[in-house]
Amino acid sequence: MVKYLFGRVLGGVVTLFLVTALAFFATAFAPGNPASVLLGNMATPERIEAITRQLGLDQPLPVRYGIWLRETLLGNLGTSNVSFKPVNDLLLAAAFPTVQLALASLVVAVVIAIPLGLILAQNRNSWWSRPASGLITLGISVPGFWVGLMLIVLFSVTLKILPSGGYTPPSKDLWLNIRSLILPVATLAIYLIPSVVRFVRVTAISVLREDYVDTARAKGTAPAAILLRHVAPNTLVTTITYIGLQLGVLISGAVVVELIFSIPGLGRLGLNAVLNRDYPVVQGVVLLAATGYVAVNLLIDLAYALIDPRVRAR
């Protein structure tokens, strides 16, 4: 298990290294000399040169990367070019809505998708199995953000029972918070469900073909009991890893959903920063989201090792 975990941690470190390099390049190669941007209309050639030396911009790239990495690890992410607020504060304020949205959507999606996938696997030979698979393919093909727009048309415009956007923090009003998140969470969950259902179905079908399932069946165990006691646990172990892989989809989806429903989260922060060329904020958002992605994937790998004795033994 030590070797397995070592490999995973190494993979995480490599990813983070690539990400920091990516985020660094986002500023290092950004158009415009940061020194003259910083000085604005007070810029004179002497001052620009002084600031350039002070910031270490005259150093070769690897050295600059080292300087930048040290500052970043110390938590110094700079200030926004647009609002002049510290990037740390902006990230902190935006992180909560995003985490709330992503977590709630993931829970809803998993709670719906896993039983659905198991039921589809159990009834794989019934007449409705093929139409159900067709429906899953349709679900995978429909853009998630369009589903969000349609939910707005249905629930906000036509039925007028849910807000079409905006976000209330739970500390202010929990009920309004939940109401403001119903449509965004539904959108993101609907986006995730089809692919998870498909994965659970395929995995469970292959588990159903295992010898120990035949043995249980021969002993006279009821089909429902086989599904719950033998198929579900073995399917779940693999599904956890799959959900880890879907994390990138979840992050991408959250950005779009935040834009549609005007949720002041990391996605909207990053998106506005991109369109305003606010490089320090772009960098902060990319770093934070990527670190979160790597950290959660590491936790999933750890959970996987704890659940599955075959991995533990390695």
Partner 1 sequence: MTDLATTPRPRRSSGLLAFLIRRSPLAVLLVGVFLVAAIFGPWLAPHSMTDTNLTVALQPPSATYWLGTDPLGRDVLSRLLGSAQVAAQAFLIVVLIGGIFGTALGLVAGGLGGILDLVVSRLVEVLQGFPTILVAIVIVALFDPSLTNAMIAVGLAAIPDFARVSRSVAIQLRDREFIQAARGLGAGELRILWSEVLPNMVGPLIVIASFDGAQAVLWEASLSFLGMGVQSPAPSFGSMLREAQGYLAIQPSFAIIVGIAVSGVILGLNLLGDAISDYLDRGGK
Contact set with partner 1 (CB under 8 A): 11, 14-15, 18-19, 22-23, 25-26, 29-30, 137-138, 140-146, 149-150, 152-153, 157, 164, 244-249, 251-252, 255-256, 259-260, 267, 270-271, 273-275, 277, 279, 282, 285-286, 289-290, 293, 297
In this complex, which beta carbon is closest to partner 1, that of residue 150 or of residue 222?
Answer: 150
Instruction: State in angstroms the smallest separation of the CB of 205 from partner 1.
Output: 14
Task: With CA atoms as reference, report the closest residue to 231 among 219, 220, 222, 242.
Answer: 222
Q: Distance between CA 81 and CA 73 in Å, rounded?
A: 21
Give yes or no for a contact between 5 and 298, defined as CB atoms under 8 angstroms apart.
Answer: no
In this complex, which beta carbon is closest to partner 1, that of residue 24 or of residue 167?
Answer: 24
In this complex, which beta carbon is closest to partner 1, that of residue 56 or of residue 143?
Answer: 143
Instruction: State in angstroms the smallest separation of the CB of 170 from partner 1.
Output: 26
Instruction: State in angstroms the smallest separation of the CB of 223 from partner 1.
Output: 26
Structure tokens at 16: 């983070």
Instruction: State in angstroms the smallest separation of the CB of 239 from partner 1.
Output: 14
Instruction: State in angstroms the smallest separation of the CB of 52 from partner 1.
Output: 20
Please state the φ and ψ torsions of residue 91, each to the nearest 5 degrees: -65, -45
Instruction: State in angstroms the smallest separation of the CB of 229 from partner 1.
Output: 29
In this complex, which beta carbon is closest to partner 1, that of residue 146 or of residue 212?
Answer: 146
Instruction: State in angstroms the smallest separation of the CB of 100 from partner 1.
Output: 18
Amino acid residing at 283: Q
Strand partners, 86: 79
Structure tokens at 117: 């996938």
Instruction: State in angstroms the smallest separation of the CB of 85 from partner 1.
Output: 18
In this complex, which beta carbon is closest to partner 1, that of residue 234 or of residue 283?
Answer: 283
Instruction: State in angstroms the smallest separation of the CB of 42 from partner 1.
Output: 26
Amino acid residing at 5: L
Give yes or no for a contact between 72 and 244, defined as CB atoms under 8 angstroms apart.
Answer: no
Give yes or no for a contact between 188 and 253, defined as CB atoms under 8 angstroms apart.
Answer: yes
Please state the φ and ψ torsions of residue 73, each to the nearest 5 degrees: -65, -30
DSSP annotation string for 95-110: HHHHHHHHHHHHHHHH
Give yes or no for a contact between 267 and 258, defined as CB atoms under 8 angstroms apart.
Answer: yes
Output the furthest CA–CA distance in the chain (Å, rounded): 88
In this complex, which beta carbon is closest to partner 1, that of residue 140 or of residue 225?
Answer: 140
In this complex, which beta carbon is closest to partner 1, that of residue 15 or of residue 36?
Answer: 15
In this complex, which beta carbon is closest to partner 1, that of residue 53 or of residue 314?
Answer: 314
> To the nearest 10°, the Cα dihedral for 302, 303, 309, 314?
-10
In this complex, which beta carbon is closest to partner 1, that of residue 150 or of residue 174?
Answer: 150
Angle at the Cα of 142 from the Cα atoms of 138 and 147, rounded to 5 degrees:
125
Structure tokens at 121: 């696997």
Contacts of 238 (CB under 8 A, 6+ apart): 203
